[in-house]
Amino acid sequence: MLKIYGIKNCNSMKKAFDLLTELGLSYEFHDYKKQGIDVETVKTWLDALGQDVVLNKKGTTWRKLSEEEQQTALASEENLLTVLTTHTSLIKRPVLETSSGFIAGFDEVAYRSLNK
């Protein structure tokens, strides 16, 4: 079964939910704003996708961090894991866990290919 991670009130999440439903794909939703997210899960994403994919530098949360906080976050994987699990809005949404890996961000083509 697919597992989708994110927060409920997000346009990208809504698109993902709608498309998964349209494709008839069942999924489990993990709302990390309400449920939190553990370091092991985020580390798995970083290992699989890389920091540039997982860390959302375009959002307001990243821009609200001071230059020093941003540099500290990027200084080591340990620091980055702490920042991502503390400020979950810094994680690109959604993260979709499939049987063959992860898809970060809403990617309609990749989602449609799951139905083949």
Annotated catalytic residues are 10
Q: How far apart (Å, rounded) are the C-alpha atoms in residues 10 and 44?
A: 23
Token digits of residue 97: 């866990």
Structure tokens belonging to residue 55:
């860390």
User: CA of 48: how far to CAs of 26, 43, 98, 110, in Å?
Assistant: 23, 8, 12, 16
Give the integer Cα–Cα distance in Å for 73 and 53. Answer: 15
